[in-house]
A and B are shown apart, each in its own frame.
Chain A
């Protein structure tokens, strides 16, 4: 796995979504793609023309879409459904939970515009709790993707993984992180920067590149940190977290999500049971979202490299 991070923007997620979904429909006749009137937002409207029987616009009715996806799975198909994050989680949660998970059906759910990425759509469209909801479904998978390379590979893997899979991903771009064509393993995080043993930052999604940036700032002060990309929030790479905890003795998590129920929770739950370690977090402080440009919102909610730097120093200060 080659890290190609250089601070530059990656391609737009929506282009990768459009191309990957079209490719999966073409490659596997059991794939059915469902959307709730948001195909034009991820470049998949063309799929209705190319695969009219398997690219289905369900209209603005997410609960029904989730139930249909479950029924399609029961008929032996591989449903992939998309809508914005809040509608892919809160709006159809009981249907995903019962018609999907409890009933033993397999559905891949893509929730776009996680957290502050909802920007100008504002608080109604800004999910800070989607990972918490999906983590609470027994056996479900939760991925907060890092870049388009992770997205393409994980989405392709998901179609053949039994159970409920939730992929949260922006529509615009994050920073470029991995070499094109890289492959990833469910349940295995990636050490993207291994500078030293002062602290480890465990980040996901939007925050991975910011963690790398923070590590570079810290290095100038002589603080050496390791950065882990935990795109696989569930199943969590427990081995990698425990290794980082034992090697550094201080951890910081960073996520574009409420501090309740997401990556910070997952890592804390593990550490509390197996290796109590000083841990700090960068996450939403249990607040609702609001409207604004994404860079404003990142400042407003402290989702910045500078804030990660502060939290790393706080974590190190707590070491015995």
Chain B
């Protein structure tokens, strides 16, 4: 259960993550807007409260790890990491500029605080399994959080990794499925209907939860849950583009190219909300 102070703090953090990501998109003119915004609340709870990390020592071995297998949500994670102090906030504006440390897709060799290189969809799942299993072998008491897209779940590798996670009881790995109902070409229902994701993960041997993935309270409860033998999978029912009305209302919001004016309008909306929180 979140205290009201903590809830407000996380609400602010989630807004700041959205602002940071939009500022990065604005500096470059385009980017993966929808999927970065849908996952911002989960990132706020993870980096704002749940995960043990050390911005001064990003490679600290006993840290909790995050693998964002939907690597194109990088800009939202970069914003969270900047706000945590892993690197200067202004650096976010170098997104996708020549020689940048902040590419579209997450790269563990470029960005302090990024734990795995992802972007070729599906691959982060197995990497996260290996990371979590490696931590167990090393006797580290930490968890790995894996964010998987719903469109990404079209990839067979996702289900190979899910099968393995449950069969080998890799219960220090938490799966988060960003079920925002859309992929690049349209609605997941039309492209490749993923159906009942909770039932799928249960059938694979997980303790599967289905929550409002843009609700901080529900996220907090799910992410503080201790796993038993069965690993936990949390289906995050989210809205692609969450937090910016104009993006939410756009059907094709996976990757967007906008004018500075439009980005400024989005930023004003987000900043007004942040201000209202006091």
Report whether A75 and B131 are in contact in the complex, using a CB–CB cutoff of 8 Å.
yes
Query: Quick one: which of B112-130 are within 8 Å of A by CB?
Result: 115-117, 119-120, 123, 125-130
- The CB with the most chain B CB atoms within 10 A, among A32, A71, A74, is that of A71
B158's nearest neighbour on chain A, judged by CB, is: A64
Judge whether A104 is part of the interface by a CB distance below 8 angstroms.
yes
B119 contacts across to A, CB distance below 8 A? 98
Across the interface, B117 reaches (CB within 8 A) one of A56, A61, A79, A104, namely: A104
Judge whether A296 is part of the interface by a CB distance below 8 angstroms.
no
Query: Chain B interface: which size bin?
Result: 20 to 34
Judge whether A48 is part of the interface by a CB distance below 8 angstroms.
no
Across the interface, A75 reaches (CB within 8 A) one of B117, B138, B160, B164, namely: B138
Judge whether B137 is part of the interface by a CB distance below 8 angstroms.
yes
Judge whether B135 is part of the interface by a CB distance below 8 angstroms.
yes
Report whether A59 and B163 are in contact in the complex, using a CB–CB cutoff of 8 Å.
yes
A68 contacts across to B, CB distance below 8 A? 126-127, 129-130, 133, 161, 164
B115's nearest neighbour on chain A, judged by CB, is: A74
B109 contacts across to A, CB distance below 8 A? 103-104
Judge whether B157 is part of the interface by a CB distance below 8 angstroms.
yes
CB distance from A51 to the nearest CB of B (A): 10
Query: Quick one: which of A72-108 are within 8 Å of B by CB?
Result: 72-77, 79, 94-95, 98-99, 102-104
B109's nearest neighbour on chain A, judged by CB, is: A104
Query: Quick one: which of A18-77 are within 8 Å of B by CB?
Result: 32, 53-54, 56, 58-59, 61, 63-77
B130 contacts across to A, CB distance below 8 A? 67-75, 79
Judge whether B249 is part of the interface by a CB distance below 8 angstroms.
no
Bound together, the chains give a CA A70 to CA B160 distance in angstroms of 15
CB distance from B59 to the nearest CB of A (A): 10
B128 contacts across to A, CB distance below 8 A? 71
B193 contacts across to A, CB distance below 8 A? none
Bound together, the chains give a CA A73 to CA B115 distance in angstroms of 12
Report whether A71 and B138 are in contact in the complex, using a CB–CB cutoff of 8 Å.
no
Bound together, the chains give a CA A69 to CA B129 distance in angstroms of 9
Bound together, the chains give a CA A261 to CA B108 distance in angstroms of 30
Bound together, the chains give a CA A54 to CA B115 distance in angstroms of 22
A99 contacts across to B, CB distance below 8 A? 117, 123, 126-127
| A64-B157, A104-B109 known; A74-B131 Cβ under 8 A | yes
A103 contacts across to B, CB distance below 8 A? 107-109, 116-117, 127
Across the interface, A77 reaches (CB within 8 A) one of B115, B134, B157, B167, namely: B134
Report whether B134 and A74 are in contact in the complex, using a CB–CB cutoff of 8 Å.
yes
Across the interface, A67 reaches (CB within 8 A) one of B126, B138, B163, B168, namely: B126
CB distance from A162 to the nearest CB of B (A): 13
Report whether B116 and A71 are in contact in the complex, using a CB–CB cutoff of 8 Å.
yes
Query: Quick one: which of B156-195 are within 8 Å of A by CB?
Result: 156-157, 160-161, 163-164, 167-168
CB distance from A55 to the nearest CB of B (A): 11
Bound together, the chains give a CA A74 to CA B135 distance in angstroms of 10
CB distance from B55 to the nearest CB of A (A): 19
Report whether B126 and A70 are in contact in the complex, using a CB–CB cutoff of 8 Å.
yes
CB contacts between A and B, total, < 8 Å? 108
A70's nearest neighbour on chain B, judged by CB, is: B127
Report whether B129 and A61 are in contact in the complex, using a CB–CB cutoff of 8 Å.
no
Report whether A74 and B164 are in contact in the complex, using a CB–CB cutoff of 8 Å.
no
B160 contacts across to A, CB distance below 8 A? 61, 63-64
Bound together, the chains give a CA A197 to CA B191 distance in angstroms of 65
Judge whether B226 is part of the interface by a CB distance below 8 angstroms.
no
A70 contacts across to B, CB distance below 8 A? 126-127, 130
B164's nearest neighbour on chain A, judged by CB, is: A64
Query: Quick one: which of B61-93 are within 8 Å of A by CB?
Result: 61
| A61-B164, A99-B117 known; A67-B134 Cβ under 8 A | no
Bound together, the chains give a CA A58 to CA B123 distance in angstroms of 16
B107 contacts across to A, CB distance below 8 A? 103
Across the interface, B127 reaches (CB within 8 A) one of A56, A59, A61, A67, namely: A67
Q: What 0/1 readout, one digit per residue, does chain A (135-159) give for beta carbons within 8 Å of chain B?
A: 0000000000000000000000000
A69 contacts across to B, CB distance below 8 A? 130
Report whether A104 and B108 are in contact in the complex, using a CB–CB cutoff of 8 Å.
yes
A64's nearest neighbour on chain B, judged by CB, is: B160
A75 contacts across to B, CB distance below 8 A? 130-131, 133-135, 137-138
Report whether B126 and A71 are in contact in the complex, using a CB–CB cutoff of 8 Å.
yes
A95 contacts across to B, CB distance below 8 A? 123, 126, 157
A-B pairs with the 8 shortest C-beta distances? Answer: A71-B130, A67-B126, A75-B134, A103-B117, A64-B160, A68-B130, A61-B160, A71-B127
- Could you jot down 11 A-B contacts, CB within 8 Å? A32-B137, A67-B125, A67-B126, A71-B129, A71-B131, A75-B133, A75-B134, A76-B138, A77-B137, A77-B138, A98-B117
**A residues apposed to B, CB below 8 Å:** 32, 53-54, 56, 58-59, 61, 63-77, 79, 94-95, 98-99, 102-104
Additional pairs, 15, CB under 8 Å, beyond known A68-B161, A94-B123, A104-B109: A32-B134, A59-B164, A63-B126, A64-B164, A67-B157, A71-B116, A71-B126, A71-B131, A71-B133, A71-B134, A72-B133, A98-B120, A98-B123, A99-B123, A104-B108
